[in-house]
Amino acid sequence: MAILCASRPGEVLNARWREIEGNTWVIPPDRMKNHREHRVPLSPRAVELLTNLPQCGEYLFVGRGDGPPNPYALVNQLHRMGYNNLTAHGFRSAFRDWASEQTTYPNLVIEQALSHTVGSAVERAYRRSDLLDQRRRLMQDWSDFLASA
């Protein structure tokens, strides 16, 4: 999920079932770094992943008890798999490099996919769209790229 959505590890580990709305994951402002709601378009592969998860409480991924996993769960899993030089946050960096080097999506679309703050305060005040449809195509292309790797 972290790789497919290019999301921050904490966003994924604290994701709740109530945030999934069809093929969109709506992360509330209080869980976002920039304190703004972020809609994440889910590729069919991400939806499939979620469909196959058991629903054991409010969180998508459950740690000990009924709360979210340990904040280091993703990096710990990478280390158990022998990838000691990787970080979970590095998935976002890989997405950013791929999108910049291998696609023609505008920088704004890529940055919004990463939920980065882009432009001056004036530009942001006039920007009314989160470019969800363009980001949905971008995330599908990313999912296709991952499946081919």
Residues annotated as catalytic (active site), given as ranges: 8, 33, 89, 92, 116, 126
Number of neighbours of residue 40 by Cβ within 10 angstroms: 26
Give the β-pairing of 38-41 and 20-21. Answer: unpaired
16 beta partners: 59
Separation between Cα atoms, residue 83 and residue 142, nearest integer Å? 22
**98 Rama sector, left if φ>0, alpha if ψ -120 to 50, beta otherwise:** alpha
- CA nearest 136: which of 20, 1, 40? 40
Rounded to the nearest 10°, the torsion over CA 123, 140, 26, 69 is -120
